[in-house]
Amino acid sequence: MEPVTALIVAACSGARLGGGMPKQYRVLGGKPLLRHAVEGMLRHPRVGHVVAVIGAGQQPLADASLDGLDVVTVIGGQERADSVRAGLAVVPQGIVLVHDAARPFCPPEVIDRLLRSLEGADGAVPVLPVADTLATGDRELRGTVDRANLVRVQTPQAFHLDDLRFAIDEAGTRLATDESSVMQVAGLKVATVAGSEMLSKVTTEDDWNRMERIVASRLVTRTGLGFDVHAFGGPGPLIMGGISIDHPQGLAGHSDADVVLHSITDALLGAAAKGDIGQHFPPSDPQWKGASSDRFLAHAAQLIRGKGGIIDHVDCTVICEAPKIGPHRSAMRMRVAEILKVSVGQVSIKATTTERLGFTGRGEGIAAQAVATIRMEPD
C-alpha cells in the first residue's frame, strides 16, 4: 500500500477576512484554522505524514498553532505554484493529498473516496454539483449559463506524487488556481468523487460565522468541581486569586498555596477529565516548591484549548473568616481572567464564612471550592 502524505497549503496572507492576522491562524472553536485542517488529516489512518507550507515570517504563528503535532513546516513562495513545489520537495514517495488550510473540516470518507478513485486515475478531486442558477452580467443579467456539466471543485486533491511533479514542471507559469488544472494541462487524467459541504472554504466573515456554528454543534457542555484547603502558616502576605493580599499570615503549602487558583485549576481539569492538580504538579516534585500557581491554572486552560475546548465560565467561593474578600474581588477576577485568557465577565469570585464553625471558623486556614463550565468535543 502506497504511503500517503497530506500537503496543506497555508502560505497566504489571509488579509481579506480581517482579524489582524492571516486567517489560517485565527482561532475557530478554540483552535487555529490551520490546526483544524492538520488534525483532520492526521486522524485518517492512511495519512502517514503531514507537511504544512507556510508564508515567510509566519513560523512563530505556525509553531504556536501546531504545538504538539507531528507536522513538518516548509516556507512557501509568493504564488501557490511556488508553495506547492516547496512542499513537494520534502514529500516522500507515494500519494500526496494537497489541501487548503482554509478548509478546516475534512470528512474521512472523502479521503477514502479519493484514494479508491486514484487506483484508476492520475489524480482525483472532490466535487459538488452547482445548485444555483448561473448567469453572466454585472449590474444587469446578460444571460444564463448551462450548469448541467458544471461542478464545484474542492480540496483535498489526491495525486500520485511523480505525476503531480511532472504536471507542475510541464505547466510552468500556466499553473492555475488548483493542482487538478495543472494535471489537465499536462494531459493527465483527473477523476472526480463526491465532495462535501463540510469542505467549504473560509473566505468571508459569513463563512467564518458558518464555521463557528459548525464547531458549536460538535461541542458538548462539561462541568467540573474543584476544592482546596490550606492552613495558615508563616508571615504574610497572603497569595490568593493570583494577587498578593496584605495579611498577618500567609498560607502553608508546597507551592504558593493559592487556594483560589488551585480550586479553579482542579475544576477545569475535572471538566476536561484530565485528572487533578496533584497528577500534573505532584507536591513530591521539588521543582514546584514555592511555584506560582498561575502556572498551574494556565496549564489547565491550555490542555482544554489544545483539545479544541472553550472555557465558558468559572465560579469560586472562598470560605474564611479573614481576610475580607470584597475589597480584593475585582482584582482577583481580573487576574484569573488574564491567566485563563477569558473576559472578566466569565469569572465569578464569591466569599462566605462557616459562622465560626470548623477549622475555617477558628481561623486555622482557608478553603475554596470552584465550578468550571467548558465545551469540548466528546472523546
pTM of the model: 0.70
Q: Which residues of 278-295 are buried (b: 16+ CB within 10 A; e: fewer)?
A: eebbeeeeeebeeeebbe
Quick: pLDDT tens for 302-339: 999 877 788 999 999 999 999 999 999 999 999 999 99
- Residue list, annotated binding site: 228-230, 254-255, 262, 276-278, 352-355, 359, 362
Angle between helices 161-171 and 80-88 (to 10 degrees): 140
Residues 260 and 319 in one domain: yes
Statement to judge: residues 234 and 357 lie in one domain: yes
CATH classification at residue 259: 3.30.1330.50
184, 218, 252 — which closes off a domain? 218
Number of domains into which the chain is organized: 2
Residue 287 pLDDT > 90, yes or no? Answer: no
User: Which residue numbers belong to the known binding site for a divalent metal cation?
Assistant: 228, 230, 262
Other CB atoms within 10 A of residue 299 CB = 16
Mean pLDDT of the chain: 90
pLDDT digits 0-9 by tens, 29-42: 778 999 999 999 99
Out of 202, 218, 234, a domain closes at: 218
Strands 123-129 and 190-194: parallel
**Same-domain status, 193 and 307:** no
User: Is 203 in the same domain as 85?
Assistant: yes
Q: Which of 189, 218, 247 is the last residue of a domain?
A: 218
Confidence of residue 270 (pLDDT cuts 50, 70, 90): very high
Expressed as residue numbers, the domain containing 336 is 220-376
Same domain as 271, residue 349: yes
